[in-house]
């Protein structure tokens, strides 16, 4: 079987393979940039870490430990090989492998991100559909004002408002989301306010995107045909219109994933919650360069994977993508 036939027989696998191949040079380039950026830092890292009071021997010992004595080309190769073997170096603060520390807090950030996306989509998509169906009526105006505020408000301000309302006034949820709560309900209880914070801006974007996308699709010929055939309104809205309207909306989830992974720095800071964001802020404060470097690699990998997943989800929702 030729390559072409193979591709024709299983287009989805071929599509995934091709996109994976294309992301390899990007990942390599990203790793290279991270490596050299961390090495062009002003001053000697060993000196920066230990400070003025350190003895010459201590600095030399640390340089040895960090591999700073080796030629740059050797350090670069070691770095790349290490990454591919899952060795991201050792944290200067924790004295433990960087990757282990990252994997320990990663679930908190992912939990926050997915919870925000689920809440934001569950509220935003139906609101967008309703807003489009009842265009220029009261519901539509209210929805549009709410979504305008939703994506104009900084996340840390949303967080503070939620804390004032639900943690200080009503005392329903804790102010601090330490991640140490025992049991499932404790964990959910701590997650509510951070997740709502993250969800608000996504909800706003989803509502908006769904609305304008629905308005466009509702005017298409196939929707008119379905209507002419006498199909029930719900079927038209869901099967004919929404499925097509969701194609651009999926991109928003992809973009949003990157946004909230970044915003988690702010959300985690406000709620004193563990996660990638609080880890990178702490590592920058402590000049834990191996940790910062490892986190950057993880962030970049997450973005590459999310972009890939976004592209692939197109081909599931819209089979036309595969053929092109």
Q: For residues 29 and 316, which CB has a smaller minimum distance to other proteins in the complex?
A: 29
Look-up: residue for tokens 């390899």? Answer: 24
The structure tokens listed for 242 are 């929404």
* Residue of 192, 250, 266, 279 interacting with other proteins (CB under 8 A): 266
What's the CA gap between 181 and 189, in Å, rounded? 9
Angle at which helices 183-218 and 138-150 pack, to 10 degrees?
A: 120
Q: Name the residue among 57, 35, 31 with its Cα closest to residue 46.
A: 57
| Residue 87: CB minimum distance to other proteins, A | 21
| Residue 265: CB minimum distance to other proteins, A | 6
| Residue 200: CB minimum distance to other proteins, A | 12
Q: For residues 76 and 156, which CB has a smaller minimum distance to other proteins in the complex?
A: 156
Q: For residues 283 and 315, which CB has a smaller minimum distance to other proteins in the complex?
A: 283
| Residue 279: CB minimum distance to other proteins, A | 11
Q: Is 195 in contact with 119 (CB distance < 8 Å)?
A: yes
What's the CA gap between 287 and 307, in Å, rounded? 30
* Residue of 296, 311, 314, 315 interacting with other proteins (CB under 8 A): 296
Query: Is 6 an interacting residue with respect to other proteins (CB under 8 A)?
Result: no
Angle at which helices 289-317 and 98-133 pack, to 10 degrees?
A: 40
Query: 90 pairs with which residues across the strands?
Result: 97
By CB under 8 A, the residues from 33 to 72 that bind other proteins are 33, 37, 41
| Residue 123: CB minimum distance to other proteins, A | 20
Query: CA distances (Å), 158 to each of 60, 163, 166, 301, in order?
Result: 47, 9, 12, 28
Query: Is 165 an interacting residue with respect to other proteins (CB under 8 A)?
Result: no
Q: For residues 8 and 20, which CB has a smaller minimum distance to other proteins in the complex?
A: 20
How many residues in the chain?
324
How large is the C-alpha radius of gyration of the chain? 24
**Which residues of this protein are in contact with other proteins, per CB under 8 A?**
25-26, 29-30, 33, 37, 41, 135-136, 148-149, 151-157, 160-161, 163-164, 168, 212, 215-216, 219, 258-259, 261-263, 265-266, 269-270, 280-281, 284, 292, 296, 299-300, 303-304
């Amino acid at each position: 079987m030729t390559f072409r036939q193979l591709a024709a027989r299983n287009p989805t696998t071929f599509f995934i393979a091709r996109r994976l191949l294309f992301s390899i040079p990007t990942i390599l380039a990203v790793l290279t940039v991270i490596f050299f950026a961390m090495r062009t830092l002003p001053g000697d890292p060993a000196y920066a870490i230990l400070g003025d009071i350190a003895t010459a021997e201590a600095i030399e010992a640390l340089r040895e430990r960090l591999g700073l004595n080796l030629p740059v080309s050797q350090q670069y190769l070691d770095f790349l090989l290490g990454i591919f073997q899952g060795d991201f170096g050792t944290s200067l603060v924790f004295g433990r492998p960087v990757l282990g520390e990252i994997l320990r807090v990663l679930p908190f950030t992912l939990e926050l991100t997915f919870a925000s996306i689920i809440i934001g989509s569950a509220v935003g998509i139906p609101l967008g559909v309703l807003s489009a169906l009842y265009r220029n009526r009261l519901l539509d105006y209210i929805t549009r004002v709410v979504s305008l505020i939703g994506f104009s408000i900084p996340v840390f301000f949303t967080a503070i408002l939620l804390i004032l309302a639900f943690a200080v006034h009503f005392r329903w949820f804790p102010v601090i989301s330490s991640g140490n709560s025992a049991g499932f309900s404790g964990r959910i209880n701590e997650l509510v306010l951070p997740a709502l914070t993250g969800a608000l801006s996504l909800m706003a974007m989803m509502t908006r995107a769904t609305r304008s996308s629905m308005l466009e699709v509702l005017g298409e010929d196939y929707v008119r045909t379905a209507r002419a055939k006498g199909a029930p309104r719900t079927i038209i809205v869901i099967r004919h219109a929404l499925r097509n309207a969701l194609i651009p909306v999926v991109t928003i989830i992809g973009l949003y994933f990157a946004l909230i992974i970044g915003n988690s720095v702010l959300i985690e800071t406000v709620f004193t919650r563990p996660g990638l964001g609080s880890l990178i802020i702490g590592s920058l404060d402590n000049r834990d360069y191996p940790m910062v470097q490892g986190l950057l690699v993880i962030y970049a990998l997450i973005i590459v994977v999310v972009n890939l997943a976004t592209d692939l989800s197109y081909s599931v929702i819209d089979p036309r993508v595969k053929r092109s």
